[in-house]
A and B are shown apart, each in its own frame.
Chain A
Amino acid sequence: MTGVPLNIDFQQILLHLLNFAILFFVLYLALYKPVKNFIDKRKAGYQELDDQTKENLDKANALKEEYESKLQEADSEAADIKNKAMDEANAMAKTRTDEAKAEAELILEKARKQAEEEKDRIVAEAGDQIEELAKEAAKKAIFDSTSDAFDSFLDSAEEK
C-alpha cells in the first residue's frame, strides 16, 4: 500500500502511460495514417475523375451550344444569301424588263418617226408632182386649145 486510496499508484500510471504512448505512436504511424492516406488518395482520385467528367460534360455542352448557335447562324446566313440572291435576281429581271421596254419604246418611236418622215416625204413628193403636173397642164392650156390641153392633161395624168 502506498497510502493513496483505491490503490492508485503513480508508478503504474506512468507505466500505463508509457505503454499507451508507444502503442499510439506505432498504431498511428503504421496503421491509421497509411490506411487514411490510401482512403484519401482514392477519394481524391474519384473526386478528380468526377471533376473531369463534369468539366468534360460542361465542355461538351458548351460545344453543343456553340455548334447549335453556329448552325443557326449558318441557317440565317443561308436564308439571307437566298433572299439577297432573290432580290438581286428580281432587280436584274426588273432592269432587264425596263430596258427591254425602253428599247421597245425607242424602236417604236423610231419606227413612228420613220413612218412620219416617210409619210411627209411621200406627201411632199406627191405635192411636188401635182405641182409639176399643174404647171405642165397650165403650160399646155396656154399653148394648145383648151380641149387639147385638157386631153393632154388627162393623157399625161394617165401616163403618170
Chain B
Amino acid sequence: MEKKKKTRFIIIFAFIFAILIAGIIITGNLLPESPHEEISVAMKDAVLHETFKINLFGLQVNPAVISAFIVSGILIVAAIIIRIFVIPKFTIIPGKFQMLLEQGVELFANMAKENSPHCHGFIGGYIFVAGAYICIGTLFELLGLQASTTAGTSIALPAPLADINGAITMGCLTFLVIMGGGIARNGLKGLGKALKEFSLPISMSFRLFGALLSGALVTDLVYHYTLTSYVIPVFVGVIFTLLHALIQAYVLTTLASTYFGEVTEKSEKKVKVPKEKKKKIKAERA
C-alpha cells in the first residue's frame, strides 16, 4: 500500500510539473511579443510615479495620494464608529475588542512615556496615529485596489508611503513635531537641539520611502520574469508587506518618541567654577 501511494504521488507531481513546463514554453512561443515594459522602466515608474497619474478634482496626482485618502477615510470612519458604538460601552473588565484597542493605545502611550518621560502627552497621540497610518497604509497595498489613470489604463493603488511625497511628508512632519516639542518645552535650546539633528527629516523620509518601496520593487522584480511569476510573488509580496508594515511603524514611532524625549529634556544648569578653583583642582590632579 505504501509503495502504491508513493508511486501515485510521484506520477501526479510529475504530471503537474510537466504541464507547467509545457505551459510556460508554449505560452512563450505562441504569444506574440507583448508590449511588456522593460524591467528598468517598470522599476523607474514604481519609484518615481512619472507615467501614471490620477485625476483628483482636476489635479494630476500620484496614485499614492489616492491611497492616502482612502486609508485615511477607512481609519476615520472606523474611528468614528468605534467612538460612537464601542467606547461608550467600555467595561472595567475588558472584552476582546476593547482589549485590542486598549493594547494598541497603551503600546504607543507607554512607548512615549518610556522614551520621553518629561513630556509624553502629545507625542503619544502622534505616534499612535502615525503608527496606525503607516501600518494600515502599508497593508492597504495587499488589497490591490484598482484606479483608472489619466492615460485610461488601470493601476493597482500602492501604499501611501511608497510615494516619495508621502514619505517626505511623514518624515518632515515628524521632525516638525519634534522641533515644536523642543521649542515648547525648552525654547531656543530646544530648537537648537532639534536643529542639531538636521538630517533627521531626510533620513526618516528616505528610510520610510526606501523600506516600503523595496518590498514593492522586489515583488515587481520577481513578478517580471516568467519563471518566477508563479506563486512566488504572492508569498514575497505578502511577507514583505507584512514585515514592512510592522517594522516601519515601529521604527518611525520609536525614533520620533526618542528624539522628542531628547529634545524636550530639561538641561541642567552648569555650575560656574571660579578660575582659581579650577587651577587648584588641576594642580591637585597633577
A103 to B: closest C-beta gap in Å: 88
Are B87's CB and A19's CB within 8 A? no
Interface assignment of A113: CB less than 8 Å from any CB of chain B: no
Are A30's CB and B79's CB within 8 A? yes
Which residue of A12, A30, A33 contacts B165 across the interface (Cβ within 8 Å)? Answer: A12
- Encoded as 1 (CB less than 8 Å from any B CB) or 0, chain A from 33 to 65 comes to 111101100100100000000000000000000
Per the bound structure, the CA–CA distance linking A13 and B161 in Å amounts to 11
Interface residues in B47-76 by Cβ distance below 8 A to A read 47-50, 56, 59, 61-62, 65, 68-69, 72, 75-76
Main secondary structure of the interface of A (DSSP, over half): helix
| Interface residues of A, count at CB 8 A | 30
Which residue of A6, A20, A23 contacts B48 across the interface (Cβ within 8 Å)? Answer: A6
Interface assignment of B105: CB less than 8 Å from any CB of chain A: yes
Per the bound structure, the CA–CA distance linking A13 and B82 in Å amounts to 29
Per the bound structure, the CA–CA distance linking A6 and B79 in Å amounts to 34
| Contacts known (A17-B169, A36-B105); A28 close to B129, Cβ less than 8 A | yes
B82 to A: closest C-beta gap in Å: 6
Which residue of B62, B76, B102 contacts A35 across the interface (Cβ within 8 Å)? Answer: B102
Interface assignment of A89: CB less than 8 Å from any CB of chain B: no
Interface assignment of A8: CB less than 8 Å from any CB of chain B: yes
| Interface residues of B, count at CB 8 A | 43
| Contacts known (A16-B165, A17-B173, A27-B129); A36 close to B79, Cβ less than 8 A | no
Interface residues in A62-95 by Cβ distance below 8 A to B read none
Interface assignment of A22: CB less than 8 Å from any CB of chain B: yes
Chain A residues within an 8 Å CB radius of B79? 26-27, 30-31
Are A16's CB and B68's CB within 8 A? yes
Per the bound structure, the CA–CA distance linking A26 and B128 in Å amounts to 12
Interface assignment of A107: CB less than 8 Å from any CB of chain B: no
Chain A residues within an 8 Å CB radius of B172? 13
Are A24's CB and B126's CB within 8 A? yes
Closest residue of chain A to B101 (Cβ to Cβ) is: A35
Sample (22) of A-B pairs whose CB atoms are under 8 Å apart: A1-B50, A6-B47, A6-B164, A7-B48, A7-B62, A8-B164, A9-B165, A12-B165, A13-B169, A15-B65, A20-B129, A22-B76, A23-B133, A26-B79, A30-B83, A31-B79, A31-B101, A32-B105, A34-B87, A35-B101, A36-B124, A38-B90
